[in-house]
Amino acid sequence: MADGSALNRFDPYAARAQFPILSRTVNGKPLIYLDSAASAQKPRAVIDALTHAMEGSYANVHRGLHTLANETTDAFEAARETVARFLNAETPDQIVWTKGGTEAFNLVASGLGQSLQAGDQIIVSQMEHHANIVPWHMLRERLGVVLKWAPVRDDGSLDMEALAMLIGPRTRLVAVTHMSNVLGTVNDIRAIADLAHAAGALVLVDGCQGAVHCRPDVQALDCDFYIFTGHKLYGPTGIGGMYGKRAALEALPPYQGGGEMIATVTEDAVTYSGIPHRFEAGTPPILEAIGLGAALEWFMGFDRDAVAAHEMALYDHVVGRLADRDWLRIIGEAPGKGAILTFTVENTHAHDVAQILDRYGVAVRAGVHCAEPLSRRFGITSSARASFALYNTVEDADAFVDALIKAREFFV
């Protein structure tokens, strides 16, 4: 159970009041939003930052000489600096903007694919999101790269001994999530990085959940790439990116061609910009980046240890209330996990569970959560997922449990 003193340093009700959407009703009931692992709601600070940028100072960035262009460029690059500070990157130019986490995975896959050979190995875990699986499968199909799978134990933890055995002289990349979007498992990234680097392999981290809940320090983690997305960090959709070690970024060829990513273009040749702009072809997601910068500034204003303690207290409260329900199966109970509750209800499809919960205003996710290999690992075809965020309260937790018990009664 979370430390009560930590809870005293964070007021979820004050945080909740900053989210306009959370005052609405669904099906005549107060909205209980427990789908933040899919996409978080947006605080007033982000909404206002976007509105201000559109109403007060907007133009394209970097290439203009007029006042609006300069103001917008300053705001856009300030957001990059905010991300660098949030992740503890060495310098802001190690932050590459993309339209989200998925594009960042594909950027790395595209670049690495130009140097990989048949028989080279990429290691992923069974708990990965499809965004950290499919790009590597595409390299397997195109180049003959070999995918190896690090297994997940019954409690949802990563089998580190098995992972260590998989890493060998042909391993080129270990791609693993910081925090599972299904299990809530938090992986020991530094230990994984040490294993991979000892074999000369790179380490790519899916931080789309970890950036929200784990306070990542990319220098301490010693990862080569750390990928994040804005819409789970209380920011807008259409924005995300990655941190990369300078040597790892400079070794990647450009991902797309166009304006911004070039130094010179002639009829006979082209030269490319340095990092990060060589990976940011065309007009970037300007407003979205500004909105993400605002989200991170807002988020960093909280005691994030206290936020995490609050989220886990809600998780523990729900699990405690459901402990004697033999019709409920929890998927993922690894020590030190984050506040994600994935579950199945006996003899009931997860989609039906989610639809009944929605009648009571409770929003949860249902399906395979873009992690089909993991669902197969646990022998299920679907599951429901309640994910807790800083704006959730104990009243939300109780409303969820009450609605879930009623949903179960509906199907019996």
Note the helical H segments in 236-331. 246-250, 286-299, 304-321
The bridge status of strand 121-125 relative to strand 171-177 is parallel
CB 368 within 8 A of CB 146: no
The CA–CA distances, whole Å, from 381 to 213, 350, 373, 384 equal: 27, 9, 10, 11
325 burial via Cβ count (<10 Å: 0-12, 13-18, 19+): middle
Q: Which residues participate in catalysis according to the annotation?
A: 370
- Neighbour count for residue 73 (Cβ, 10 Å): 17
Distance CA 92, CA 85 (A): 8
Strand order in the sheet with 340-345: 328-331, 340-345, 383-387, 365-367
Q: Where do we find the tokens 């009041």?
A: 17
Own/partner pairs, 257-265, CB within 8 angstroms, 24+ separation:
257/281, 258/282, 259/283, 260/62, 260/63, 260/284
What are the E-state strand segments in 82-145?
95-98, 121-125
The pair of structure tokens assigned to 21 is 């959407």
| Best CA proximity match to 206, nearest among 258, 134, 141, 257 | 134
Distance CA 406, CA 257 (A): 55
